Amino acid sequence: MIGNFLFALSIIIIGLLFGRGLRVLLDKGKIESAAKMHRILKMCTMSALLVVNPLIILGAFWFVEMDDIRLMYIPILGALSLGIGGVLALYAAKLMKLSRKKQGAMFASGTFTNLGSFGALFCFVFLGEASLVFVAMFRLFEDLIYYAVGFPVAQSFGDRHKGTKSPSVLSKMMKNPFFIVTIVAIGVGGALNTSPIDRPEFYSHLNSMLVPIFTILLVVPTGFNLRVTKVKGFLKESLSIASIKYVIVPITVMFCAFLFGLKEYYEGIAFKTILILSAMPPGFTSLVPPQLFNLDQDLANSSWFINTILLIVVLPVLFLIVMIL
């Protein structure tokens, strides 16, 4: 287990440093074509979300038994974790009497969470392939929450543009290729699970390679695009987000999971998966609303950076709790 912990941490650190190194080389003129570099990194992200992730989800759903009604509670808990994070972040911002644009950035930081590149990797290396089904279920309403609540609420704190009508939430989701391929992968994997077709033995080895590849493909562009300025100026705000994301949200969600009877479900793997995912930092997507709606980007960047660095402290604690449960 110690080896798994170090493996997960090293993948993220190496990926971020490699991406940051590419940025330094580009800024120094060692990489000639900035446009080509951006295309390559965009291709990495698209490949991870449209190819690698669906293969992981399909294989996991094909493998795990899904005959317990308690499975339906997991997406609800996923939505709850995002909602609590956003509400408490906004409440903290109001207590600190921040400006509206800072409040919007705080809300984005509390709502948009790194469930994919970080959460899925930690669940896989700590708990094994079976946890990936519960990861997918926990994230089932993620896009719905972001499009129906996250972006509109964040926009309300930014610059207002009158006379422009936004597409409906349903329209946005139906046009989102990432959402579509995820649902298709879940459907196909679930159908194969109930069919007489057994999953090939090589698939478990395939997923053991695909999960780290998925993380690397997402983390390298993150390191490349990272912009952190005035971190010290937003330490108080960032630490308030940390207390929400790493303490209040996990405790609340785990209490609900216990009430739903999930502690013993699937040998406790579902319960531990929920614990890990509910204690993840702000995702890179938390930087998107501040860019789109002219919120405080320095606050959002600082919160993302500080809370990601704090994973070095949080991850060993999660590791110990998972071993004890």
Q: Which domains are delineated in the chain?
A: 2-324 (1.20.1530)
pLDDT tens over the chain, length 325 residues: 677 778 888 888 898 899 989 988 888 888 878 888 889 988 998 898 889 989 988 988 888 777 778 888 999 999 999 999 999 999 999 999 999 999 999 999 999 999 988 999 999 999 998 899 999 899 988 988 998 889 889 988 987 555 555 666 667 667 778 888 888 998 999 899 889 999 998 888 898 899 899 889 988 988 887 776 656 678 999 999 999 999 999 999 999 999 999 998 888 999 999 999 999 999 988 988 998 888 998 899 899 999 998 998 999 999 899 988 8
- Choose among 229, 285, 278: nearest CA to 255: 278
User: What DSSP letter does each residue of 40-103 carry, written as one string?
Assistant: HHHHHHHHIIIIIHHHHHHHHHHHS----GGGGHHHHHHHHHHHHHHHHHHHHHHHTT--HHHH
Q: Which pLDDT tens digit goes with each residue over 40-85?
A: 988 998 898 889 989 988 988 888 777 778 888 999 999 999 999 9
Identify whether the C-beta of residue 290 lies closer than 8 Å to the C-beta of residue 108.
yes
Identify whether the C-beta of residue 70 lies closer than 8 Å to the C-beta of residue 265.
yes
Which residues, listed in sequence order, are joined to residue 282 by a DSSP beta bridge?
A: 113
